Structure 1
Amino acid sequence: MSLIIIDQGNRIQTPVKALFKSRSVDASAASKGSSSLPGSEENFKRTEDRLIRIDSESSRRPPSSAGSPQAAYEQTQTAGKPKASRPTLRAQQIMTFPVQTILVTASLRQAWLQLEEYRIAHLVIIDENEKPLGLISRPEIQEHGTDSTVTLAAVYEKQMVAATPDTELSQIASTFVNYPIAALPVIDDRDELVGIISRTDLVRLLINDAQVESWA
């Protein structure tokens, strides 16, 4: 299943590319004011390099000994046998849960204190019925003031990109690379918040040597 767009708590059919300009289309046109956002060019580039500029397994292997008797024997043993397919990684396999949430009526100061308390980078904004509405990050709060009494309702983006539990990791990684998005809430078929995925989660997979060379 692909990504979804949440607009003030409701799913809409607008594609992700309609909300953002792809970096490949206009990478040099990012505004200076966006440097404080979670998807800023500087932070984005740093993460992109770690995500996609990795050596393939083949480049780390010693020189091939294809002409050796041992290699010839191994080829005869595997000839005609189908290659084992790798399982497709999905959002539900790497998402972080439970997710820290905050009411849309809370102040920026309250949101900042919660981020500090749990040492996290994002909070999912919800309404009184616990319906996910949007996302707020550290840089966004810092932009408006960590001691501000302004409510989140006045500053949060009304449209939010989210994943479903079955969204493939290849699509999530591609979204992080192509759009100024630093985290994706994971929302199930009942529109309930079940997890969150950030660029940090993908970097963690790389550190743990997960099989991610075929994501994008």
Structure 2
Amino acid sequence: MALFVYDHGYRIQTPKESLFQPGGVNSLNRSRHSHRSADTEDRLHADGEKFVIPGPNSQAQQNTNTDSVSKAYTSLAEESSAETEAPKLTVSSVMVSPVHTINPTTPVSAAWKRMHSLEVSHLIVTEDDRPLGLLSKVDLLEAGSDSITPIKEIYSKQLIAATPETLIQDVAISFIENEINSMPVVDKEDKVVGIICRTDLLRLLVSGAHLESWV
């Protein structure tokens, strides 16, 4: 999963799960249904008598049938694997870029006006294009939209970031597990190149574009 954790602007090696406790869902793995009658049937076949119709070349006929079935199965598997898989959707095809950023020394009141004028709910706090944190509308409302406090006192210092190559599926899972609404997108030099939000995934869901490639 190509997701990274940033703490005060620096990419850290600490596992994401230790800082962002999973929540929202108990498990994203499909549960396997148990079918006890199938176990019983298998046991009967394994332990019971095997009835073979006697006759000339019966063993040879059985081997021939087995070989035919094996060849047919192998041929079908090869044809299936030869089919071109649908390309996986990546963040680069959905993210918003260029992204709106803000300096950590900006007062809350100025940040509120900027967010309101841009009609966005999140701003990425940056310094030299490096992500320092994430500022949300909720942060501003809690601080008071007319406050002169610099946003460096209130924005989230730890964040999860994606890369343009990150799969949309991985981002969606992180949104659910970590109960977050947006994620900055960074390049190999840790420069912010975009942002992806829940609303972007919802638009993708509504459009129905290649959903089979990321669900």
Q: Is the contact between residue 20 and residue 180 of structure 1 (CA under 8 Å) also seen in structure 2? A: no
Alpha-carbon separation, structure 2, partners of 1:184 and 1:171: 12
Match of 2:201 in 1: 202
Alpha-carbon separation, structure 2, partners of 1:158 and 1:196: 16
Give yes or no for the alignment of 1:172 onto 2:171. yes
Deviation at 1:2, TM superposition (A): 1.1
Give yes or no for the alignment of 1:94 onto 2:98. no
Q: Is the contact between residue 161 and residue 186 of structure 2 (CA under 8 Å) also seen in structure 1? A: yes
Give the TM-score, by structure 1 length.
0.70
Letter in 2 for 1:133: L
Deviation at 1:149, TM superposition (A): 0.7
Letter in 2 for 1:137: S
CA root-mean-square deviation? 2.0
Percent of aligned positions that are identical: 38
Match of 1:161 in 2: 160
Alpha-carbon separation, structure 1, partners of 2:102 and 2:210: 35
Alpha-carbon separation, structure 2, partners of 1:165 and 1:15: 20
Match of 2:61 in 1: none
Alpha-carbon separation, structure 2, partners of 1:16 and 1:126: 21
Q: Which sections of structure 1, spanning at least 5 residues, go unmatched?
A: 28-78
Alpha-carbon separation, structure 2, partners of 1:117 and 1:24: 32
Give the TM-score, by structure 2 length.
0.71
* Larger CA deviation: 16-25 vs 106-115: 16-25
What per-residue deviation string (whole Å, max 9, x for no partner) do you get for residues 169-210 of structure 1?
Answer: 111011011112110100001111100000000001011112
Alpha-carbon separation, structure 2, partners of 1:105 and 1:144: 15
Alpha-carbon separation, structure 2, partners of 1:19 and 1:215: 26
Q: Is the contact between residue 5 and residue 13 of structure 1 (CA under 8 Å) also seen in structure 2? A: yes
Letter in 2 for 1:118: L
- When Rg is computed on C-alpha atoms for both structures, the one with the higher figure is 2
Letter in 1 for 2:203: R
Letter in 1 for 2:15: P
Q: Name the CA shift for 1:96/1:25 in 2 (closer, same or farther; >3 Å).
A: closer
Match of 1:3 in 2: 3
Letter in 2 for 1:108: V
Which consecutive aligned stretches of 4+ in structure 1 deviate over 6 angstroms post-superposition?
none
Deviation at 1:214, TM superposition (A): 5.3
Q: Which sections of structure 2, spanning at least 5 residues, go unmatched?
A: 28-75
Q: Secondary structure of the residue that 2:211 maps to in structure 1?
A: coil
Letter in 1 for 2:22: S
Deviation at 1:146, TM superposition (A): 0.6
Q: Is the contact between residue 2 and residue 166 of structure 2 (CA under 8 Å) also seen in structure 1? A: yes
Alpha-carbon separation, structure 1, partners of 2:21 and 2:197: 20
